[in-house]
């Protein structure tokens, strides 16, 4: 397993502020509200776990912070600036590794690098991440040749490649077996010590949230409520 003494290339951790955030989706009979009146402040370097029942908007919240979706109301700011699409100050890793099968582990990690990264810098950064994640020996292997845990580590390395100020993790360990999952918990904490960044972690596992996070954000399920009728538009 990797060592927490690995060198760090991280940018300073970022602050996240959500104020009055709401996200609704149109339906056949009106609108469906997934998030409403979300007010959250995440300090730089803090690990915050987001928990709640299925359908309560956990993944939607992460997509909003990462600029992959837009809020219906309210504001989202990263270091005082409005969140925007394709913001390189954020990175996201999902439950599935989503590695390209025709590329090696090293090449998959390199996909996360900023576009302007020079070749020499890219090689050095990828090597650093492979060492940090304990994947140096698998650098030239394809995703099908490594275990699920190793593939998930590669996905995490790819997310870290751009040295994000805010790291968004959407149930990144949910598909792993119990033993590998416990190892990944410790690995994430090692990485956070070696390369501090702000982390928002979505999980269904309360024990995982309590072990990893400084704070836990509980979302309630609004989908159980009756959908709101669509308001007529003014003519």
Where in the chain are the domains? 16-229
Q: Other CB atoms closer than 10 Å to residue 211's CB: what's the count?
A: 14
- Most confidently modeled range among 135-149, 181-195, 212-226: 135-149
Instruction: Please give the mean pLDDT across all residues of the chain.
Output: 87
pLDDT, residue 199, reads 96
Per-residue pLDDT tens over the stretch 201-210: 999 999 999 9
Burial 127-155, CB ≥16 within 10 A → b, else e = ebbbbbbbbeebbeebbeebeebbbbbbb
**Per-residue pLDDT, 46:** 96
Does residue 228 contact residue 31 with C-beta atoms inside 8 Å? yes
> What architecture is the 16-229 domain classified under in CATH?
3-Layer(aba) Sandwich (3.40)
67 vs 221, higher pLDDT:
67
How far, in Å, CA of 17 to CA of 140, rounded?
40
pLDDT digits (tens, 9 = 90+) for 144-192: 999 988 999 999 999 999 889 999 999 988 878 888 889 889 989 998 9
Q: Are 13 and 192 in contact, with CB atoms under 8 Å apart?
A: no
Mean pLDDT of 91-111: 94
Characterize 52-82 residue by residue with b for buried, 16 or more Cβ atoms within 10 angstroms of its Cβ, and e for exposed. beeebbbbbbbbbbbbbbebbebebbbeeee
Helix H or strand E encompassing 19: strand 16-27
Using a 10 angstrom Cβ sphere, with 0-12 exposed, 13-18 middle and 19 or more buried, the burial of residue 19 is middle
| pLDDT tens per residue, range 29-81 | 888 899 999 999 999 999 999 998 888 889 999 999 998 899 999 999 999 98
Would the pLDDT of 231 be above 90?
no
């Amino acid at each position: 397993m990797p060592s927490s003494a690995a060198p760090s290339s991280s940018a300073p951790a970022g602050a996240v502020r959500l104020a009055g955030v709401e996200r609704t989706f149109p339906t056949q009979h009106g609108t469906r509200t997934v998030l409403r009146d979300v007010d959250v402040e995440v300090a730089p370097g803090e690990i915050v776990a987001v928990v709640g029942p299925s359908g309560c908007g956990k993944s939607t919240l992460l997509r909003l912070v990462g600029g992959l979706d837009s809020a219906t109301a309210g504001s989202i700011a990263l270091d005082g600036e409005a969140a925007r699409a394709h913001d390189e100050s954020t990175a996201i890793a999902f439950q599935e590794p989503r590695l390209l099968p025709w590329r090696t582990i090293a090449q998959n990690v390199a996909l996360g690098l900023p576009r302007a990264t020079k070749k020499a810098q890219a090689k050095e950064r990828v090597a650093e991440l492979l060492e940090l994640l304990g994947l140096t020996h698998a650098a030239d292997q394809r995703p099908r040749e490594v275990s699920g845990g190793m593939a998930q580590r590669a996905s995490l390395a790819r997310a870290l490649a751009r040295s994000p100020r805010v790291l968004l993790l959407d149930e990144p360990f949910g598909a792993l077996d119990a033993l590998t999952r416990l190892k990944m918990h410790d690995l994430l904490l090692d990485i956070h010590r070696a390369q501090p960044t702000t982390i928002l972690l979505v999980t269904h596992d309360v024990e995982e949230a309590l072990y990893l996070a400084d704070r836990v954000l509980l979302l309630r399920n609004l989908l159980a409520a009756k959908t709101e009728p669509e308001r007529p538009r003014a003519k």
